[in-house]
Each structure stands twice: as structure tokens, then as C-alpha cells.
A = this chain, B = another copy of it.
């Protein structure tokens, strides 16, 4: 069988190279650029006929990325590829899955139904499954959600001595409990109340049993960083050492990374979104899923 062709959208070169090494896949860099008027130009390698192609495009800050991605997917089809899949290490629009208020757009379902017709399969890393229980409830194409927990657990076991794992809220329980199984470290879960896009409050917890351990915060997404910052402050008030903060997906909205770094904590992410904080490589996990879907 011919090896899968990996095609990175702009900004996805590093993880694509890692994936290609893991999978022994070919990489083709498309020519994608902007005209002065803001329109996108796309030109692909010709030799795609009959091949299995995977477009690699992480979807943080998704709005401006969608059109170039769909142009590329259609063109891959038009050039005769046997199949075209999407590797989106971070998948966007997983939060608004219903009308919380009348008249709202259900963007999770709408985004999924815009992407699905253009791809034969989808692979991502830890999508924000909360009320949406499974990717297949909104994506009608074959899909795999890779779990970063094993890579995170391995990293913590190797890099942090005597960790205590802290989940900043009930949604983060899944990440900290997986990491706990791999490291044997104890777990504390806090309770978060969301007051607005930029405002959260956390309930105090009794941490007196863990003062001799390094707190490791684990959460799936670091966006504004407010949840992590509140947790860091709470740990400080409780007399704990400076924590290590681990996010699977480091979105880091305006100034979030700087604010977190100024707290004196160490900030670590996986490489699903390229960032200086990337320290945990998910490409070995991704490669198994891509190999399975693209075969």
C-alpha cells in the first residue's frame, strides 16, 4: 500500500513532521498564501491520484482557518485522491451544543456539519466532551478522539517528584484521574463556579495533607487562564509550593501565558497547538489513530 500523504495547513509544520516520522508517511507542503486583498490562494502538489491524504490543521482561532482548509480539502478530492481525512489536534466549537438562550446558534452542530461533507474521517486529541458525550453525536464521519492522558502521566512521572494532582473543576476529573492511575499520585478536585467568559471562582479545599508535594494542575484547555490563575492563588493561600500547570490544549487568549508565567508556576502543554510551552508530544498517540483511519 502507498503510504499516507500528510499535508499541513500553514502553521502545522512541526506536528506534521513529528507525525510523518512516527508513521513513515510522506509530507507535501501546499502553497497556501493570502493575496493583498485578504483572499486565500491554494495550490497543491499534483501527485495525489488514488492516494490517501490527511490534511493537518489544528483549529484554535478557527474562523479564519475554515475557508483555506475547505478549499484544500475540495482540491485534494478534485485532484483524484482516494480519500481525504482531517487531523485536527485541537478541535474547535465543542462548547455550544444547545440553545442555552433562545435564538442562539448551536455552533457545535453547525461547525460539524460544515466540516463533515468535506472529509472522509477525522482524528483529534481530547475534544471538549462535556455535554456532547461522543464526537459521533455531531460528526457523521468516522472519527477517533485520541487521549493525551498517558503522555501527560508519563511526563509527570518523569519530571515531577512527589506530585499531587489538582483538578481545577469537576470537568477536569477525567484528566487528573487518568494521570493519577499512571503516576500513582494522589488527586484533589476543586469546584469551580463560572461567573462569565473571564471570571471564575473556586471553593477552598483542605490541602494540609499535601504540603510536602508539588501540586500539578491538569486541565484540557487553557484559554483565558483564569481557572488556572485562580487555582494557583488558592494553592498559594493554602501554603502549597508553586505548582506545575499542565494543559492539553494551550490556546492562551490575549496575555494568558504571560499572566500565568508571572505567577512563578511552570506552564506545560502538549503540542496540539504550537506554543513555547509545548513539552509533551502527542504525535505517537495521533499516529496510531491516523494509521487506522487512513488505511
**Chain A interfacial positions (CB closer than 8 Å to B):** 35-46, 60-64, 66-68, 70-72, 74-75, 78-79, 92-93, 95-96, 101-107, 110-111, 114, 197-198, 221, 223-224, 251, 253-254
Contact = CB atoms under 8 A, between A and B. Distances in A.
Nearest to A256: B36
A104 B223 contact: no
A105 B7 CA distance: 15
A70 B110 contact: yes
Nearest to A93: B39
Given A38-B63, A63-B40, A45 B110 contact: no
Contacts of A95: 39
A63 B9 CA distance: 15
Number of this chain's copies in the complex: 2
A33 to B, nearest CB: 9
A79 to B, nearest CB: 7
Contact of A72 (B62, B96, B105): B105
Contact of A61 (B37, B72, B107, B253): B37
In this complex, which of A38, A96, A111 has the most chain B Cβ atoms within 10 angstroms of its Cβ? Answer: A38
B114 A42 contact: no
A190 to B, nearest CB: 21
A71 B110 contact: yes
21 contacts: A36-B223, A36-B224, A37-B61, A37-B221, A37-B224, A39-B95, A39-B107, A41-B96, A41-B105, A41-B107, A43-B101, A44-B104, A63-B63, A63-B67, A67-B114, A70-B110, A70-B114, A71-B110, A74-B105, A75-B104, A75-B106
